Homo-oligomer: A and B are copies of this chain.
Amino acid sequence: MRASILTIGNEILKGNTVNTNMAHIGHILTYAGHEVHRALIVSDNPEEIAWGIRASLEAGDLVVTTGGLGPTFDDMTVESISNALGLKTEVDQRELSFLKERYAGRGIELTEGRLKMVRLPAGSRALHNPVGAAPGVYLRHDNKTIIILPGVPAEMKAILDSILPEIKSGDRKYAQETFPLEGIMESSLAPLIEKIMKKWGGKVYIKSHPQRSEMNNPKLNVEVSAWDKNMKMAMESVATVVAEIKENYRNYIGK
């Protein structure tokens, strides 16, 4: 199944915050059997969020979003996604009771900003947040799954963990191994990679990542990965290809 990730937040676009959320979600989804095909970062702006959710759904059957669920004026993810998909929002009664406990129970007013956090798309399911106030959202729409998560990393991770058993793919497994190669240029290794990938007919994917400049004592990280219907088969393909590269790369040095 193809997946997309949508991050909402100006602080990411300005480079104030490195998007580690995206990397975490990408890693989790990949090992849960979903090929992440596209990732988008949009600003805190209703039109951009609407564009983002449409472009994400276009590329994936599973869309995970992060950011914009809090109590401040610029937290507008749920409302913007609901509008974009033509859904009304309604207060989740169970989450409202948690919120009442959390705030009203301590004599703190349930302001409009706080109430907004439990106003969820009609037909969705709240994903309880064990760390913070704003719940996540699980939504099925047009035969696709949308999971809306907060941007605070600890909250995002906890909710994603809680929903993981439900979104794990049963019949697609991903295996990967990365190893260093020294003394060979990326451009020298390229023909070997191409040859092996052709032989495997798309079943195995090989990517080289230069760690130093080509000409000056080159160093690469080589990543070998495979998708298969079970983990054992995927791991075997990866191990075979890693061995094949290690046995043959010396013949390509200096070429």
Contacts and interface: CB of A to CB of B under 8 A. Distances in A.
B19 A23 contact: yes
A217 interface: no
B11 A207 contact: yes
Contacts of A40: 38-41
A136 B243 CA distance: 35
Complex copy number for this chain: 2
A15 B10 contact: no
B187 A71 contact: yes
A113 interface: yes
Chain A contact-residue range equals 35 or more
A39 B10 CA distance: 10
A229 interface: no
A193 interface: yes
A214 interface: yes
A171 interface: no
A18 interface: yes
